[in-house]
Structure formats: structure tokens, C-alpha cells
Structure 1
């Protein structure tokens, strides 16, 4: 965190609010606009951005009144306190390693690299050099996680079955947004599983307080020019035998007002919970009537929340609410799923070697 800025000429050199200088790498990523609220907070100054996609950079620079650098390399030479990394998956690990070498804390979008080997190497380097890195598994700071917490009676050992369906807009939305690389496995690493499924891999692991150990999966791709999965179903199991099912896809006819299909059902020894639209319905065991409450399921609302939490944790010398170890586990589960698909859906063990 930056040291306080001092105003000369005032009695006792009165301190004003510290300025945290932020660098943002590759602002054409579709998630970047979801962080704008936090980046406009008092005490935050975006000193520079980059845009290797040459898509949204000029507009963002005007919005934030900051300099647009011609490359990531040029921006790396700027003086800043914290970075946000939104690069192509094939370029994430290399950029992360450069930031770690400089000792600069940062937030990096999942999956943090092209494959498990890259993410594991970045995690090891960050731990070796003691660099703070957060990864926005935003379900951890969501209203849903609060509703399903031990404080609400949902203890980790009580989960019996967890099923999540999260279907987002078609692959064409990445093309319209200047991110066509997301349709190419060489640059993206994977499709709907790696992009949205990891949130529920992490959520299942968080709720049950145990890593996923085995995966059976099925996938499909529909457009002949797309090399990542457009639909996937993962059946996951942890060491305690708890089962989770994650269905993801690029199949929903999304609009600005209606972006995705999100639904879930959860069996717990204390209650059964299910959700859809903006409703959470919980029926406790042994009760005649359940109760319904309104819950914010729009995950877009939680990215700035997560970024502010990251800054607070960094300032207080606390570990991130989610970081590279969680990212490593998520991508290990994804890769086990890819092996399962190649093996006709047979269960595959997860490489949890950390």
C-alpha cells in the first residue's frame, strides 16, 4: 500500500488520504467493466492501462482519465502499487511471474494460466517471494455463500448433494467483445468449464470444506470453428463422499437484461435448498412449510466487492479470501474432467499435489 501523501504548508504537515496507484493489464477483458466502481473509489488512482487486443483501451483511458500504454511491457515499467491482470490465458502466467519478480501485489482473473503446470508454477513463485495474489472467485463474497454458511445451519459435513447450473451467453458474445481468443483452446485453455465452472468447483470445495478428489465429465462443442467446450457436465466427489454436479455452457440467448440461466439445488442434513431467478427456497428437515427469500444471484455485482476485499486484506496483512491455491485446485479439477472426457466419462482423480 502506498505511503501517505503529505500537503506541505499546513501545520504539522497534515496527511491526506493515501493514494494507491493501480495498473490494469488488458482492459478488453469482458470482466473489466465490473471493477470500475472500485477503481473510482477515493484514494485509488489508475496510473495506466494496456490493451493488447486494441479494442476497448482508448474508451477506458478516457473513462479513467489515465494513460493507455502501447504494450504490457511498457506498462510494467510504470511505478504502481497494485495490478489487475486480465490478459489472455496463454499470457497470464508470464505476466504474473514478472509482477512477482518485482514484488508487486495483484489480482489476476481466473484461470491464472493456460494449464495446471503454469498455475502451479505461479503459485509456488508467489509463495516463495511472499507476494500477495488474489483470484476473484466471487461466489465466496456473494449473498448465496452467506445464506449457505454454517451460521445459517449449513455445516460443511452436512452437505449430501450439490447441483449447480450456470449457462451463459453464446460464444458470439466473445467475438463481439473483442475476445475471439476465448474460442481457441491454444489461447483460452478451455471453454465454459474453465471460464465459469471454476466458480462452482471453488464454491463446492468451500461449502464442504474439502477439495474435490474425483471427476466424471461429459462435454460438447457445437460450432465447427470453436475448439473449446460449449457445454459441460461435471460430477464431482470429495474425500468425504459428498457429491456435486456442475453444468455449464455457452448456450443461453442472453441479452443485457437477461444474461444467463442460473439455478441450483442442495441437499443438506439440516435442510433442502433450491434457487432460481432471484428466489432462494429453504425447507428445513421435519418442517411442513419452507421459506422463500429474495437473493442477489447476479454475480456481476460482486467483482468490485471482491477487489475492495482484496485491498483491505492486503492493507491488514491478511491472506486473500481466494488466491492461487484455490485457482490451482480449480484448474486441477478441470483438467481431471478433460481427462475423463477423453476416457469416455470414466472417473478421474484430481491432482491435488499442494
Structure 2
């Protein structure tokens, strides 16, 4: 399968590195509005660098969209019309309505980049949960650094990003909670914090109510110090996921190299695509976006739960 990557930013380099380790997948073309950025990434993997999307469609069977969130819909529709498969980074789009149009246009040719499900520590945690009884409390703390010098300017543009940290990071946290707890988002009660001078929130918190009666409590913080910890208190023990592995109580279940595992998760996602394993559906990607929309409605109102419009 010929792979084309649209956008040559940080996540595109992860895609390219992962794809290089997958049998049956060849990176043939990289597109970016900045020809120098496209050339740097394409040159690393002996691919062609272009600036036009039509050139990607002519040279690829699977198109990866690693571009501003607001561009996902239009490019997905164009790729689907050309008969190409599409892997779109998360969030799937800036609104659930846009997700619906993408699904209608692309159908089974559309995949959403929920590579968080392919982390070895997340998969190990899901297996461990089967032995720990009913989950009683789900807590996640995660950070991102909005002040980083290499942050793209569009991250702070609500029209292009669809929002701030709740949209950028929250969709991943919502998907992790949904997958581990076995339910769909039903309602969200949330708050956001938009500092003076910013047009998007850089910190946020929410309680996500799933349709199976379980809840996930999420805290997302703007911080130069990275942290990402998920704690699930169950009937027969407490499980913790961190970037370096999984623990159940004082017992370390798994240790991984966090950075290497990040790239490996992209590789496993490509391997799943090649073998026809959907793992995560476009509808699930849409559910995460709809949950963030409910989060924003709750934050703009009284902070009470808002129903997710599925």
C-alpha cells in the first residue's frame, strides 16, 4: 500500500517513522504548504515532496491527514471521492456535524487515528481490568505545554483547532476512558480555563458519564512538565497507567520505553489497517468530538451535565 502524508509537522514525523517499520507499506509522498518542510520529511524516507493535495491523491492509496483540525472534513471528502482510504488524526473534526459528513462521504474507507488504543501499557491495562472486578473510580491527569516555542500558531486559533485543550487532548482522554470502561459518552459536566490574552482554554476538567453507568473524571493542565496518569480503582485493586507502564497496587505489571512506545503505537495502528482490523470506528471518533461539544456547553452554562448528541 502506498502511503501519502498531508502535513509535515511533529505528528507527521511519527507517522513516517512508524510506517517505515511496516511490511507492505511504503511512504511515497509528503505534502505541506511549506515546500521546505515537505522536502525535509520526504527526503528522510526517499519520498516525493509536493504542495498540492491532488498530487498526493495521484501517488497514494492511503492518505494520512496531519493538518489543522478544521481541514479534516474537506480533505477527507476529496480523498474519498478519489477512492482513497483516509486516516485522519484526532480530533476527527471540529464539530460532530462535520464528522457525520465525513462518515457519509468516506464510509469504510475512513479511519480515525485513535492510536492511544495501541499503546502496550493501555492494552495491558485493559487485560488486567478483567481480573479486578467492577471499576469504581476513574481518574486521569494529563498535561500539555501550550507555551512551547514550536507549537503551531493554529493551536491557539479556535476556528482552526476547534477549541483548546479539551478538543486537542480531551478527545484522547475520552476515548481511553470509553475503551477501558466499555461504554459510550452519554453526558459531560465540565469547566475550562482560558487565561488572559488567549482565545482557547489551556486547562480543563470534566466528569464524563458513560451509557453503562460508569464515570471518568478528567483533569487537563497546561504545564511545561509533562505528566499523564490514569488511575482506576476497582473492587479488587487499583490499576495505574503511566507513560512508562502499568501497575496494580504495588505490583509493576509492565515497563516500557515511553518515547519508543509512542512510535510503536502508530506502527501497530498501520498494521491493523493493513490486516483490515478496524479496532476503532469513525463513529467512536465522532463520539469523542460530540462529548467535547457537550463539555463546552456545560462550561459555558452552569457546569451541570450536558447530554452528548449522538
How does the TM-score come out when normalised to structure 2? 0.90
Instruction: Decide which of 79, 88, 91 is 1:99's aligned counterpart.
Output: 79
Structure 2 residues not aligned, in runs of 5+: none
Cα 1:279/1:148, change in 2 over 3 Å = closer
**Aligned with 1:248: secondary structure?**
strand
Query: How far did residue 351 of structure 1 move?
Result: 0.9
Q: Which of the residues 240, 252, 271 maps onto 1:292?
A: 252
1:342 corresponds to 2:303: no
RMSD (Å), alpha carbons:
2.4
| CA apart distance, 1:198 | 1.2
Q: Distance in 1 between matches of 2:194 and 2:200?
A: 7
Return the offset for 1:141.
1.3
Which has the larger Rg?
A: 1
SS in structure 2 at match of 1:345: coil
Match of 2:137 among 152, 161, 173: 161
Q: CA deviation at 1:300?
A: 6.7
Contact in 2 for aligned 1:144/1:297 (Cα 8 Å): no
- Check conservation: 2:163, 2:201, Cα contact below 8 A: yes
Question: Within 1, Cα distance between the matches of 2:138 and 2:257?
Answer: 17
Q: 5 Å matches for 1:33-52?
A: 33-41=13-21, 42-52=23-33
Runs of 5+ in structure 1 lacking a partner? 1-19, 255-259, 284-289
Determine if contact 1:34/1:300 at 8 Å carries over to the other structure: no
Which whole-Å deviations, capped at 9, do the CAs of 1:324-346 have from their partners, x for residues lacking one? 11110000100000000011311
In 2 relative to 1, CA 181–124 (structure 1 residues): closer, same or farther, beyond 3 Å? same
Give the corresponding residue for 2:49: 68
Matches within 5 A, 1:172-183: 172-173=147-148, 176-177=150-151, 179-183=152-156
Q: Secondary structure at the match of 2:3?
A: strand
Q: Distance in 2 between the 1:44 and 1:52 partners?
A: 24
Does residue 239 (structure 1) correspond to residue 220 (structure 2)? The answer is no
Are residues 38 and 327 of structure 1, via their aligned partners in 2, closer, same or farther at CA, if it must alter by over 3 Å?
A: same
1:282 corresponds to 2:248: yes
Aligned pair count?
309
Tell me if the contact between 1:50 and 1:69 (Cα under 8 Å) persists in the aligned partners: yes
Following superposition of structure 1 onto structure 2, how do residues 51-90 of structure 1 map, counting pairs within 5 Å? Answer: 51-53=32-34, 56-76=37-57, 78-90=58-70
Asked whether the 8 Å contact 1:83–1:106 carries over to 2, the reply is: yes
Partner of 2:179: 206
Q: Distance in 2 between matches of 1:248 and 1:21?
A: 37
Partner residue in 2 for 1:21: 2
Residue of structure 1 equivalent to 2:230: 264
Which has the larger displacement, 180-189 or 137-146? 137-146
CA contact (8 A) 1:215 1:348 kept: yes
